[in-house]
A and B are shown apart, each in its own frame.
Chain A
Amino acid sequence: MLIHPLVVRITHWLNVLAVLIMITSGWQIYNASPLFGFSFPDSITLGGWLAGALQWHFAGLWLFVANGLVYVLYGIFSGHFRRKLLPISPAAVVRDIGQALRGHLAHEDLSVYNAAQRAAYVALIFFLCLLVATGLAIWKPVQLYWLASLMGDYEGARYLHFFAMSAVALIVLVHVVMVALVPRTFPTMITGRTRT
Protein backbone atom coordinates (compact mmCIF):
# COMPACT_ATOMS: atom_id res chain seq x y z
CA MET A 1 0.00 0.00 0.00
CA LEU A 2 1.43 3.37 -1.07
CA ILE A 3 1.77 5.64 1.95
CA HIS A 4 4.13 8.37 0.75
CA PRO A 5 3.92 9.62 -2.86
CA LEU A 6 7.23 9.91 -4.75
CA VAL A 7 7.18 13.75 -4.67
CA VAL A 8 6.87 13.68 -0.88
CA ARG A 9 9.72 11.19 -0.49
CA ILE A 10 12.11 13.09 -2.78
CA THR A 11 11.32 16.49 -1.26
CA HIS A 12 11.56 14.99 2.25
CA TRP A 13 15.14 13.78 1.75
CA LEU A 14 16.28 16.87 -0.15
CA ASN A 15 14.79 18.89 2.71
CA VAL A 16 16.78 16.84 5.22
CA LEU A 17 19.96 17.76 3.34
CA ALA A 18 18.95 21.42 2.93
CA VAL A 19 17.87 21.90 6.55
CA LEU A 20 21.06 20.25 7.81
CA ILE A 21 23.14 22.64 5.68
CA MET A 22 21.09 25.67 6.73
CA ILE A 23 21.08 24.90 10.46
CA THR A 24 24.72 23.88 10.85
CA SER A 25 26.00 26.80 8.74
CA GLY A 26 23.54 29.07 10.56
CA TRP A 27 25.09 28.10 13.89
CA GLN A 28 28.53 29.15 12.63
CA ILE A 29 27.06 32.48 11.44
CA TYR A 30 25.40 32.92 14.85
CA ASN A 31 28.79 32.40 16.53
CA ALA A 32 30.23 35.50 14.81
CA SER A 33 27.93 37.70 16.92
CA PRO A 34 25.93 35.61 19.41
CA LEU A 35 22.49 36.88 20.42
CA PHE A 36 22.69 35.08 23.75
CA GLY A 37 25.45 34.14 26.15
CA PHE A 38 26.51 30.98 24.36
CA SER A 39 28.08 29.78 21.12
CA PHE A 40 27.66 26.54 19.21
CA PRO A 41 30.66 24.18 19.32
CA ASP A 42 32.62 24.48 16.05
CA SER A 43 32.54 20.69 15.67
CA ILE A 44 28.79 20.70 14.96
CA THR A 45 28.86 23.67 12.59
CA LEU A 46 29.48 23.91 8.85
CA GLY A 47 31.80 26.23 6.95
CA GLY A 48 34.81 26.49 9.30
CA TRP A 49 34.54 30.27 9.72
CA LEU A 50 32.07 33.06 9.01
CA ALA A 51 32.73 33.44 5.26
CA GLY A 52 32.62 29.68 4.68
CA ALA A 53 29.40 29.37 6.66
CA LEU A 54 27.80 32.27 4.77
CA GLN A 55 28.72 30.60 1.47
CA TRP A 56 27.01 27.38 2.57
CA HIS A 57 24.00 29.26 3.96
CA PHE A 58 23.44 31.31 0.79
CA ALA A 59 24.00 28.32 -1.50
CA GLY A 60 21.84 26.01 0.60
CA LEU A 61 18.97 28.45 0.65
CA TRP A 62 18.30 27.91 -3.08
CA LEU A 63 17.96 24.17 -2.58
CA PHE A 64 15.88 24.72 0.55
CA VAL A 65 13.51 27.25 -1.05
CA ALA A 66 13.17 25.53 -4.45
CA ASN A 67 12.55 22.15 -2.85
CA GLY A 68 10.16 23.66 -0.31
CA LEU A 69 8.18 25.37 -3.08
CA VAL A 70 7.79 22.08 -4.97
CA TYR A 71 6.57 20.38 -1.78
CA VAL A 72 4.14 23.12 -0.73
CA LEU A 73 2.69 23.59 -4.23
CA TYR A 74 2.32 19.82 -4.58
CA GLY A 75 0.74 19.62 -1.12
CA ILE A 76 -1.82 22.30 -1.93
CA PHE A 77 -2.74 21.37 -5.49
CA SER A 78 -2.69 17.58 -5.25
CA GLY A 79 -4.87 17.62 -2.14
CA HIS A 80 -2.06 15.94 -0.18
CA PHE A 81 -2.19 18.51 2.63
CA ARG A 82 -6.01 18.37 2.83
CA ARG A 83 -6.05 14.57 2.93
CA LYS A 84 -3.14 13.97 5.28
CA LEU A 85 -2.85 17.03 7.54
CA LEU A 86 -6.48 18.16 7.94
CA PRO A 87 -8.58 18.42 9.96
CA ILE A 88 -6.65 19.14 13.16
CA SER A 89 -8.75 19.47 16.30
CA PRO A 90 -6.93 20.94 19.30
CA ALA A 91 -8.65 18.46 21.63
CA ALA A 92 -7.40 15.53 19.56
CA VAL A 93 -3.87 16.98 19.52
CA VAL A 94 -3.83 17.24 23.32
CA ARG A 95 -5.26 13.72 23.66
CA ASP A 96 -2.74 12.19 21.23
CA ILE A 97 0.25 13.97 22.79
CA GLY A 98 -0.88 12.72 26.19
CA GLN A 99 -1.18 9.17 24.87
CA ALA A 100 2.19 9.40 23.14
CA LEU A 101 3.85 10.55 26.38
CA ARG A 102 2.37 7.54 28.20
CA GLY A 103 3.53 5.28 25.37
CA HIS A 104 -0.03 4.32 24.44
CA LEU A 105 -0.42 6.04 21.09
CA ALA A 106 -1.74 3.53 18.59
CA HIS A 107 0.12 3.67 15.28
CA GLU A 108 -1.28 0.79 13.29
CA ASP A 109 -2.34 2.45 10.07
CA LEU A 110 0.70 4.37 8.79
CA SER A 111 -1.35 5.95 6.01
CA VAL A 112 -3.27 8.07 8.54
CA TYR A 113 -1.43 10.63 10.65
CA ASN A 114 -2.62 10.98 14.24
CA ALA A 115 -3.48 14.44 15.52
CA ALA A 116 -0.10 14.95 17.22
CA GLN A 117 1.67 14.18 13.95
CA ARG A 118 -0.58 16.51 11.99
CA ALA A 119 0.08 19.33 14.42
CA ALA A 120 3.83 18.70 14.37
CA TYR A 121 4.04 18.60 10.55
CA VAL A 122 1.90 21.72 10.12
CA ALA A 123 4.02 23.50 12.76
CA LEU A 124 7.21 22.41 10.98
CA ILE A 125 5.97 23.77 7.64
CA PHE A 126 5.00 27.03 9.38
CA PHE A 127 8.37 27.47 11.09
CA LEU A 128 10.32 26.62 7.92
CA CYS A 129 8.30 29.32 6.08
CA LEU A 130 9.00 31.72 8.97
CA LEU A 131 12.72 30.95 8.60
CA VAL A 132 12.56 31.95 4.93
CA ALA A 133 10.64 35.17 5.71
CA THR A 134 12.89 36.22 8.62
CA GLY A 135 15.98 35.19 6.65
CA LEU A 136 14.92 37.43 3.75
CA ALA A 137 14.37 40.30 6.19
CA ILE A 138 17.88 39.87 7.64
CA TRP A 139 19.44 39.54 4.18
CA LYS A 140 17.61 42.55 2.66
CA PRO A 141 16.46 44.93 5.43
CA VAL A 142 16.63 47.82 2.93
CA GLN A 143 15.28 46.35 -0.31
CA LEU A 144 12.63 44.33 1.59
CA TYR A 145 12.06 46.92 4.35
CA TRP A 146 8.30 46.15 4.31
CA LEU A 147 9.03 42.55 5.23
CA ALA A 148 11.57 43.53 7.89
CA SER A 149 9.13 46.05 9.40
CA LEU A 150 6.60 43.23 9.92
CA MET A 151 9.18 41.47 12.09
CA GLY A 152 10.45 44.19 14.36
CA ASP A 153 12.96 45.42 11.80
CA TYR A 154 16.44 43.93 11.28
CA GLU A 155 17.08 43.23 14.97
CA GLY A 156 13.66 41.66 15.55
CA ALA A 157 14.07 39.46 12.48
CA ARG A 158 17.40 38.14 13.86
CA TYR A 159 15.70 36.98 17.07
CA LEU A 160 12.69 35.53 15.22
CA HIS A 161 15.04 33.70 12.84
CA PHE A 162 16.80 32.16 15.83
CA PHE A 163 13.54 31.15 17.56
CA ALA A 164 12.13 29.64 14.36
CA MET A 165 15.37 27.63 13.99
CA SER A 166 15.01 26.44 17.60
CA ALA A 167 11.42 25.34 16.95
CA VAL A 168 12.50 23.43 13.83
CA ALA A 169 15.37 21.77 15.70
CA LEU A 170 12.98 20.70 18.48
CA ILE A 171 10.37 19.30 16.10
CA VAL A 172 13.06 17.45 14.12
CA LEU A 173 14.46 15.99 17.34
CA VAL A 174 11.03 14.69 18.43
CA HIS A 175 10.41 13.41 14.89
CA VAL A 176 13.67 11.42 14.88
CA VAL A 177 12.93 10.01 18.34
CA MET A 178 9.46 8.94 17.22
CA VAL A 179 10.87 7.24 14.12
CA ALA A 180 13.34 5.40 16.37
CA LEU A 181 10.43 4.26 18.57
CA VAL A 182 8.34 3.12 15.58
CA PRO A 183 11.13 1.94 13.24
CA ARG A 184 8.82 0.46 10.60
CA THR A 185 7.93 4.04 9.58
CA PHE A 186 11.49 4.58 8.36
CA PRO A 187 11.59 2.35 5.21
CA THR A 188 8.23 3.72 4.08
CA MET A 189 9.79 7.16 3.58
CA ILE A 190 12.24 5.47 1.14
CA THR A 191 10.09 2.91 -0.69
CA GLY A 192 6.79 4.68 -0.12
CA ARG A 193 5.14 1.40 0.90
CA THR A 194 4.50 -0.64 4.02
CA ARG A 195 5.75 -4.20 4.18
CA THR A 196 2.78 -6.52 4.59
Chain B
Amino acid sequence: MKSNIERTKELINVERRLFLRQGLSLGALTLLAGCELTDQESVQRVLMAMSGWNDRAQEWLFNPNRLAPEFPESRITKPFPFNGYYSEDEVRVIDGSSYKLELAGKIAEKKPWTLPELYALPQVSQVTRHICVEGWAAIGKWSGVRFSDFLQRVGADTTAKYVGFQCADDYYGSIDMATALHPQTQLSFRFADELLPPKYGYPMKLRVPTKLGFKNPKHISAIFVTNEYPGGYWEDKGYNWFSGS
Protein backbone atom coordinates (compact mmCIF):
# COMPACT_ATOMS: atom_id res chain seq x y z
CA MET B 1 0.00 0.00 0.00
CA LYS B 2 1.57 3.31 -1.04
CA SER B 3 0.87 6.48 0.87
CA ASN B 4 -1.28 8.95 -0.96
CA ILE B 5 1.43 11.60 -0.83
CA GLU B 6 3.78 9.47 -2.88
CA ARG B 7 1.25 9.28 -5.62
CA THR B 8 0.01 12.84 -5.61
CA LYS B 9 1.24 14.43 -8.77
CA GLU B 10 0.45 17.67 -10.43
CA LEU B 11 -2.54 17.22 -12.69
CA ILE B 12 -3.43 19.52 -15.49
CA ASN B 13 -5.68 22.12 -14.03
CA VAL B 14 -9.12 21.52 -15.43
CA GLU B 15 -12.24 23.08 -14.06
CA ARG B 16 -13.97 19.92 -13.00
CA ARG B 17 -17.15 21.71 -12.09
CA LEU B 18 -17.65 22.93 -15.64
CA PHE B 19 -17.69 19.40 -16.94
CA LEU B 20 -19.21 17.49 -14.10
CA ARG B 21 -22.78 18.20 -15.06
CA GLN B 22 -22.35 18.17 -18.80
CA GLY B 23 -24.02 15.35 -20.55
CA LEU B 24 -21.22 14.09 -22.72
CA SER B 25 -21.60 10.37 -22.89
CA LEU B 26 -20.60 7.56 -25.17
CA GLY B 27 -20.07 10.01 -27.99
CA ALA B 28 -17.36 11.69 -25.97
CA LEU B 29 -15.39 8.51 -25.72
CA THR B 30 -15.62 7.69 -29.38
CA LEU B 31 -14.09 11.11 -30.00
CA LEU B 32 -11.03 9.80 -28.19
CA ALA B 33 -10.08 7.63 -31.09
CA GLY B 34 -10.02 10.69 -33.32
CA CYS B 35 -8.13 13.08 -31.10
CA GLU B 36 -4.40 13.14 -30.57
CA LEU B 37 -3.45 11.29 -27.43
CA THR B 38 -0.75 13.89 -26.90
CA ASP B 39 -3.42 16.57 -26.69
CA GLN B 40 -3.50 16.26 -22.92
CA GLU B 41 -6.04 18.94 -22.23
CA SER B 42 -8.79 17.63 -24.48
CA VAL B 43 -8.17 14.08 -23.30
CA GLN B 44 -8.44 15.30 -19.72
CA ARG B 45 -11.67 17.08 -20.61
CA VAL B 46 -13.21 13.92 -22.05
CA LEU B 47 -12.11 11.88 -19.02
CA MET B 48 -13.62 14.44 -16.64
CA ALA B 49 -16.86 14.42 -18.63
CA MET B 50 -16.95 10.64 -18.42
CA SER B 51 -16.35 10.85 -14.66
CA GLY B 52 -19.40 13.15 -14.44
CA TRP B 53 -21.38 10.66 -16.50
CA ASN B 54 -20.27 7.91 -14.11
CA ASP B 55 -21.49 10.02 -11.16
CA ARG B 56 -24.96 10.03 -12.67
CA ALA B 57 -24.81 6.30 -13.49
CA GLN B 58 -23.97 5.61 -9.83
CA GLU B 59 -26.70 7.92 -8.53
CA TRP B 60 -29.11 5.94 -10.66
CA LEU B 61 -27.72 2.61 -9.40
CA PHE B 62 -27.76 3.68 -5.75
CA ASN B 63 -30.54 1.97 -3.82
CA PRO B 64 -31.25 3.99 -0.63
CA ASN B 65 -32.53 0.85 1.11
CA ARG B 66 -29.69 -1.50 0.18
CA LEU B 67 -27.52 -2.07 3.25
CA ALA B 68 -23.79 -2.63 3.13
CA PRO B 69 -22.90 -6.08 4.52
CA GLU B 70 -22.27 -6.23 8.27
CA PHE B 71 -19.77 -8.66 9.75
CA PRO B 72 -19.25 -10.45 13.06
CA GLU B 73 -16.76 -8.72 15.36
CA SER B 74 -14.40 -11.68 14.93
CA ARG B 75 -13.73 -10.48 11.38
CA ILE B 76 -12.53 -7.01 12.38
CA THR B 77 -9.15 -6.23 10.78
CA LYS B 78 -6.39 -5.82 13.37
CA PRO B 79 -4.57 -3.55 13.24
CA PHE B 80 -6.91 -1.38 11.20
CA PRO B 81 -4.81 0.50 8.63
CA PHE B 82 -4.18 4.23 8.89
CA ASN B 83 -4.62 6.19 5.67
CA GLY B 84 -4.68 9.88 4.85
CA TYR B 85 -3.13 12.52 2.62
CA TYR B 86 -0.35 12.87 5.19
CA SER B 87 1.68 10.30 7.08
CA GLU B 88 0.75 8.89 10.47
CA ASP B 89 3.26 11.03 12.41
CA GLU B 90 1.53 14.16 11.07
CA VAL B 91 -1.91 13.28 12.46
CA ARG B 92 -3.58 16.38 14.00
CA VAL B 93 -4.33 16.21 17.70
CA ILE B 94 -7.52 18.08 18.46
CA ASP B 95 -8.51 19.43 21.89
CA GLY B 96 -11.92 17.93 22.62
CA SER B 97 -12.73 20.31 25.49
CA SER B 98 -12.78 23.39 23.27
CA TYR B 99 -14.09 21.57 20.20
CA LYS B 100 -17.34 22.68 18.57
CA LEU B 101 -19.00 21.26 15.48
CA GLU B 102 -20.13 24.16 13.28
CA LEU B 103 -23.19 23.98 11.01
CA ALA B 104 -23.80 26.09 7.93
CA GLY B 105 -25.85 26.38 4.73
CA LYS B 106 -29.39 25.09 4.38
CA ILE B 107 -29.78 24.07 8.04
CA ALA B 108 -32.45 25.59 10.32
CA GLU B 109 -30.63 25.21 13.69
CA LYS B 110 -27.07 26.40 13.21
CA LYS B 111 -26.12 26.34 16.89
CA PRO B 112 -22.63 24.73 17.23
CA TRP B 113 -22.47 21.35 19.02
CA THR B 114 -20.06 20.42 21.81
CA LEU B 115 -18.85 16.84 22.18
CA PRO B 116 -20.90 16.07 25.35
CA GLU B 117 -24.03 17.23 23.50
CA LEU B 118 -23.21 14.94 20.56
CA TYR B 119 -22.42 11.98 22.83
CA ALA B 120 -25.84 12.42 24.50
CA LEU B 121 -27.66 11.67 21.21
CA PRO B 122 -28.94 8.10 20.59
CA GLN B 123 -25.96 5.99 19.46
CA VAL B 124 -25.75 3.07 17.00
CA SER B 125 -22.93 0.70 16.01
CA GLN B 126 -21.90 -1.06 12.82
CA VAL B 127 -19.22 -3.57 11.79
CA THR B 128 -18.71 -2.84 8.12
CA ARG B 129 -16.04 -3.01 5.45
CA HIS B 130 -14.04 0.06 4.53
CA ILE B 131 -12.94 -0.18 0.88
CA CYS B 132 -10.10 2.10 -0.17
CA VAL B 133 -9.94 3.59 -3.67
CA GLU B 134 -6.49 1.92 -3.82
CA GLY B 135 -8.14 -1.50 -3.71
CA TRP B 136 -7.46 -2.79 -0.20
CA ALA B 137 -10.29 -3.31 2.26
CA ALA B 138 -10.52 -3.59 6.05
CA ILE B 139 -13.36 -4.33 8.46
CA GLY B 140 -13.89 -2.09 11.47
CA LYS B 141 -16.47 -1.23 14.13
CA TRP B 142 -17.77 2.31 14.36
CA SER B 143 -20.29 3.82 16.78
CA GLY B 144 -22.03 7.16 16.75
CA VAL B 145 -25.22 8.90 15.76
CA ARG B 146 -27.12 7.94 12.63
CA PHE B 147 -26.39 10.82 10.28
CA SER B 148 -29.95 11.09 8.96
CA ASP B 149 -31.18 11.47 12.58
CA PHE B 150 -28.68 14.27 13.14
CA LEU B 151 -29.65 16.05 9.89
CA GLN B 152 -33.33 15.83 10.86
CA ARG B 153 -32.63 17.06 14.39
CA VAL B 154 -30.84 20.21 13.18
CA GLY B 155 -33.49 20.90 10.54
CA ALA B 156 -31.34 20.31 7.47
CA ASP B 157 -33.02 20.85 4.13
CA THR B 158 -32.96 17.23 2.96
CA THR B 159 -34.20 18.25 -0.49
CA ALA B 160 -30.84 19.95 -1.10
CA LYS B 161 -28.31 18.12 -3.27
CA TYR B 162 -25.13 17.96 -1.21
CA VAL B 163 -23.78 17.69 2.30
CA GLY B 164 -20.27 19.13 2.62
CA PHE B 165 -17.60 18.66 5.28
CA GLN B 166 -14.73 20.84 6.47
CA CYS B 167 -12.12 19.08 8.52
CA ALA B 168 -9.62 20.17 11.14
CA ASP B 169 -6.80 18.58 9.12
CA ASP B 170 -7.65 20.81 6.12
CA TYR B 171 -9.31 17.90 4.35
CA TYR B 172 -12.71 18.60 2.82
CA GLY B 173 -15.33 16.58 1.00
CA SER B 174 -18.97 16.17 0.07
CA ILE B 175 -21.58 13.50 -0.52
CA ASP B 176 -24.98 13.33 -2.21
CA MET B 177 -28.08 13.80 -0.03
CA ALA B 178 -29.40 10.29 -0.80
CA THR B 179 -26.25 8.78 0.69
CA ALA B 180 -26.31 11.21 3.64
CA LEU B 181 -29.79 9.89 4.49
CA HIS B 182 -28.82 6.21 4.07
CA PRO B 183 -29.55 4.28 7.31
CA GLN B 184 -25.89 3.20 7.72
CA THR B 185 -24.33 6.61 7.18
CA GLN B 186 -23.04 7.51 10.63
CA LEU B 187 -21.40 10.42 12.42
CA SER B 188 -18.93 8.28 14.34
CA PHE B 189 -17.34 9.10 17.70
CA ARG B 190 -15.99 5.67 18.59
CA PHE B 191 -13.88 3.01 16.91
CA ALA B 192 -13.77 -0.55 18.29
CA ASP B 193 -15.74 0.62 21.38
CA GLU B 194 -13.11 3.25 22.27
CA LEU B 195 -13.15 7.00 21.67
CA LEU B 196 -11.89 7.56 18.11
CA PRO B 197 -8.11 7.78 18.39
CA PRO B 198 -6.55 10.77 16.56
CA LYS B 199 -5.36 8.59 13.67
CA TYR B 200 -8.91 7.45 12.91
CA GLY B 201 -10.32 10.97 13.04
CA TYR B 202 -10.89 12.27 16.60
CA PRO B 203 -13.28 13.74 17.56
CA MET B 204 -15.52 12.48 14.77
CA LYS B 205 -15.57 11.06 11.29
CA LEU B 206 -18.32 10.36 8.81
CA ARG B 207 -18.69 6.63 8.28
CA VAL B 208 -20.22 5.84 4.86
CA PRO B 209 -20.12 2.09 4.19
CA THR B 210 -21.74 2.64 0.78
CA LYS B 211 -18.80 4.72 -0.46
CA LEU B 212 -15.04 4.40 -0.86
CA GLY B 213 -12.79 5.28 2.08
CA PHE B 214 -11.79 8.77 0.96
CA LYS B 215 -15.51 9.73 1.09
CA ASN B 216 -15.33 9.17 4.89
CA PRO B 217 -13.86 12.49 6.15
CA LYS B 218 -12.09 12.50 9.53
CA HIS B 219 -11.65 15.32 12.12
CA ILE B 220 -14.88 16.97 10.92
CA SER B 221 -15.13 20.58 12.14
CA ALA B 222 -18.05 21.88 10.06
CA ILE B 223 -20.99 20.40 8.18
CA PHE B 224 -22.94 22.32 5.56
CA VAL B 225 -25.91 21.61 3.29
CA THR B 226 -25.92 23.14 -0.18
CA ASN B 227 -27.07 22.89 -3.77
CA GLU B 228 -23.69 24.11 -5.06
CA TYR B 229 -21.26 21.29 -5.88
CA PRO B 230 -18.66 21.48 -3.08
CA GLY B 231 -16.02 19.10 -4.56
CA GLY B 232 -13.50 17.49 -2.28
CA TYR B 233 -9.78 17.17 -1.57
CA TRP B 234 -9.19 14.10 -3.75
CA GLU B 235 -12.10 14.75 -6.11
CA ASP B 236 -10.51 18.07 -7.10
CA LYS B 237 -7.34 16.12 -7.97
CA GLY B 238 -9.23 13.70 -10.20
CA TYR B 239 -10.92 10.98 -8.17
CA ASN B 240 -14.52 10.24 -9.11
CA TRP B 241 -16.90 12.27 -6.95
CA PHE B 242 -19.73 9.78 -6.28
CA SER B 243 -17.38 6.84 -5.63
CA GLY B 244 -20.14 4.57 -4.36
CA SER B 245 -19.72 0.92 -3.46
Contacts and interface: CB of A to CB of B under 8 A. Distances in A.
Contacts of A29: 135
Interface stretch (A76-84, A103-111, A139-147): A139-147
Q: Name B's interface SS.
A: loop
Interface in A13-37: 14, 17, 29-33, 35
Contacts of A58: 50-51, 54, 240
Interface in B186-236: 209-210, 234
Contact of A63 (B2, B30, B47, B61): B30
B209 A142 contact: yes
A158 interface: yes
B133 interface: yes
Contact of A143 (B66, B238, B240): B66
A65 to B, nearest CB: 10
Contacts of A186: none
A32 B240 contact: no
Contacts of B30: 63
A172 interface: no
Given A32-B2, A33-B132, A48-B9, A59 B46 contact: yes
Nearest to B6: A49
Contacts of A17: 33
Interface string A47-82: 011111011101110110010000000000000000
B155 to A, nearest CB: 29
Interface in B1-56: 1-2, 7-9, 11, 25-26, 29-30, 32-33, 46-48, 50-51, 53-54
B244 A140 contact: yes
A183 to B, nearest CB: 25
A142 B33 contact: no
Given A55-B47, A58-B50, A58-B51, 11 more contacts: A14-B33, A29-B135, A33-B134, A35-B135, A50-B134, A62-B25, A62-B26, A63-B29, A142-B209, A145-B66, A145-B69
Interface of B: 1-2, 7-9, 11, 25-26, 29-30, 32-33, 46-48, 50-51, 53-54, 61-63, 66-69, 129, 131-137, 209-210, 234, 237-240, 244-245
7 contacts: A32-B134, A51-B238, A52-B238, A58-B51, A62-B53, A143-B210, A143-B244
Interface of A: 14, 17, 29-33, 35, 48-52, 54-56, 58-60, 62-63, 66, 140-143, 145, 154-155, 158
Which 4 residue pairs across A and B have the least CB separation, nearest first? A51-B238, A59-B50, A33-B135, A32-B134
